[in-house]
Structure 1
């Protein structure tokens, strides 16, 4: 797939900007806080309807404006597509595909595929479990767009069940409370089972690819393992067995949940375990080794999406070259070549050799404005 144009209106620090992409690789050059990352974030939103920055929609809209719009034209093997996402301060979104307003946002997903890689991704190793869950869920949305609906259903049931538990906090459960809680238990187990099974399948496919990339980058000196560690015991990935295990664990934690007023069982407490040579990655070695792990995960994401979708996704590299040493930079740049359309941000062009520069479109970014020529005071 190839992103041909991108238009931003009142998005972040952009007032109105149209970009036409004329090469497989586009280098966005500019000082910090000029809008380079914002542009990549816009593409990420078109791909997943999510931002790795976890921002609220009102934070994405230019100050003083009520709405923002991101539009793009995209070439795929099946032909041309036009996409548009409108954001509003009240949180309501409108998605448009080929000039048609879509009732379900799920139908917008899967048209544009992209993998984002930024310095924030080091939190995949160092951060809390929720960072790894968010990463896995974002990947799953691209592999299987219906997963966005499945995850939304689970989170809705979870919120409602938590509200019920809070209402009955420290109250000795009556028969009616237990009866109503059993209804929420069944809904949670049903929705949660669908999340768990898809997460398990995704990791089963991703793990060997990531392990192979990691061996390649590290010269086979280290062994990476990526394992899904669900909060609910997963002996078999069959709906009935998962659901039964889910309900059994809820029963075990019932008293604790009523005392604490929150749900203690379910995929919102899952973990993705990353180990190198059987040692947890967050405790292992240097920042360089942790960066190798994250690079392997990102390359595995690209490969898996390509295998499942049948086309190469876009690669969005947000100032990551500064985070990688020379050998890892070369590994990444050699892998990309012209296989993936790549948008890459940087503060200077020194990391790129002449071959890369000659085959790339170079754009300069300053204060939410983009030009093919360097700004005078840049």
Structure 2
């Protein structure tokens, strides 16, 4: 998979932009605030229909503009395709694939990308929601069914929580219909997560061994705070029973305490819990291994590597990790990298340099 060109109209600080992208490594360089990350963000919006930086569409529009546009021309299994997205300050997005209007959920999985930002280095130490989001988006890019079920589950969960608030203090809450559907979808989501995690664990351990010279094993465990005796819940019958058992607690707290929206991932280096006892170096190596395994996972599911988006992460990694990352992607994966320093790429072959400056771009080194 590769992106051939990108067009922007009134997106962030770009009034108008049209760039062609090299099939290997594209380095976007310039000072902070020049618009490097805006280009990466636009590609990611072309992937899933929304930004990784904001939930407010109007944030992505040029100042005083009422609309913005993103056009990504790419090849998937050697077939040319085009994603065209229009963003409006008021009203829903307009998303088109090869000039046919589609929904946001239909866009997922069309253009596969993996994005790696400095915030991702906090993935292990951060909140469970960030780890769940990572796993859910990785699976969603390779399974439209999973993404649809996840949307349905979250919608039902919100409805159940609304009922818990409306019936606060009352004993008889009409939840049976919601609980049956929630249990069914929860079972599907957890089974798919566990199935995917088996593949990811094989890949992440392999990547981590490459990065550490075979000195450390790395595994990801799946956790459920509501499980009993460390046994994972993954059948619809078990989820339904737990929803009934937890009803008094849910009624009191006015929220649902059982389900995949509460689950978490735990990273282990051999038997060491990296969140609690891992060094910063071990945690960063684990996250880097995770991102590299994400590339391999998507390739194993869809048949080709996704496009890799690296948003100023090289400056956050030490020299050994930078070299390992660049060695892995070089001549293998189309990669768009933002940086303020092009020193790391001067000896690499097949690199396209694009300077970003005040809403304009210039090809070549300074």
Report the TM range for the smaller structure's normalisation.
over 0.9
Is residue 2:350 matched to residue 1:337?
Answer: no
Contact 1:48/1:141 (CA < 8 Å) preserved in 2?
A: no
C-alpha spacing 1:200/1:5, structure 2 compared with 1 (3 Å): same
Structure 1: which 5+ residue stretches go unaligned?
none
Aligned-pair distance for 1:46?
1.4
Task: State the secondary structure of the residue aligned to 1:125.
Answer: coil
> Which residue of the other structure, out of 273, 280, 285, is the alignment partner of 2:273?
280
- How far apart, CA to CA, are the structure 2 residues paired with 1:258 and 1:44? 39
Picking from 284, 288, 293, the partner of 1:300 is 293
1:372 corresponds in structure 2 to 363
Whether the aligned pair in 2 keeps the contact of 1:196 and 1:230 (CA below 8 Å) is no
Contact 2:84 2:97 in 1 (8 A): yes
d(CA) in 1 for partners of 2:31, 2:240: 53
- Aligned CA RMSD, in angstroms, stands at 1.9
2:2, 2:23 within 8 Å by CA — same for their partners in 1?
no
Following the alignment from structure 2 to structure 1, what is the Cα–Cα distance between the partners of residues 16 and 225?
46
More deviation, 196-205/336-345: 196-205
Contact 1:48–1:138, Cα closer than 8 Å, also in 2: no
Q: Deviations over 1:283-341 (max 9, x none)?
A: 23432221101110000000111111111211111111111111111111111111100
Query: Deviations along 1:64-94, whole A, 9 cap, x unmatched?
Result: 1222221111122241101112222345122
Which of the numbers 256, 274, 282 marks the counterpart of 2:249?
Answer: 256
Match of 1:172 in 2: 170
Tell me the distance in 2 between the aligned counterparts of 1:185 and 1:162: 11
Deviation (angstroms), 1:374: 6.3
SS at match of 2:182: helix
The 1:23–1:187 alpha-carbon spacing in structure 2 relative to 1, beyond 3 Å, is: closer
Do structure 1's residue 313 and structure 2's residue 306 form an aligned pair?
yes
Does 1:185 pair with 2:179?
yes
User: Matched residues in 1 for 2:93 and 2:240: separation?
Assistant: 36
Q: Deviations over 1:6-48 (max 9, x none)?
A: 1111222222111111341110001112211111111112122
Distance in 2 between residues matched to 1:105 and 1:146, nearest whole Å: 14
SS at the partner of 1:290?
helix
2:215 paired residue number: 221
Residue deviations 1:83-121, cap 9 Å, x none?
11222234512210111112x333322221111111110
Q: Do residues 204 (structure 1) and 198 (structure 2) align?
A: yes
The answer to whether the aligner puts 1:349 opposite 2:347 as a matched pair is no
Tell me, yes or no, if structure 1 residue 99 matches structure 2 residue 99. Answer: yes
In the alignment, what sits opposite 2:136?
137
Shift of 1:231: 5.0
CA distance in 1, matches of 2:249, 2:178: 16
Partner of 1:111: 110
CA distance in 2, matches of 1:365, 1:331: 26
| Aligned residues of 2:153 and 2:182 also touching (Cα < 8 A) | yes
Aligned-partner SS, 2:235: helix
C-alpha distance 344-370 of structure 1, shift in aligned 2 (>3 A): same
> SS of the residue aligned with 1:6?
strand
Query: 1 CA distance for matches of 2:283 and 2:232?
Result: 32
**Equivalent-residue separation in structure 1 for 2:232 and 2:126 (angstroms):** 29
Match of 1:46 in 2: 46
Query: Given the two structures, how large is their TM-score scaled by the length of structure 1?
Result: 0.91
Task: Give 2:352's aligned residue.
Answer: 361
Deviates more, 1:303-312 or 1:227-236: 227-236
Contact kept, 8 Å, 2:27 with 2:353, in 1: the verdict is yes
SS in 2 for 1:340: coil
Query: Which residue in 2 is equivalent to 1:194?
Result: 188
Q: Is the Cα contact below 8 Å between 2:120 and 2:287 reproduced in 1?
A: yes
Between 268-277 and 295-304, the greater mean CA deviation after superposition: 268-277
> When the two structures are superposed, what TM-score results if normalisation uses the length of structure 2?
0.94
Alignment of 1:57-96 (within 5 A): 57-90=57-90, 92-96=92-96
- 1:325 is aligned to 318
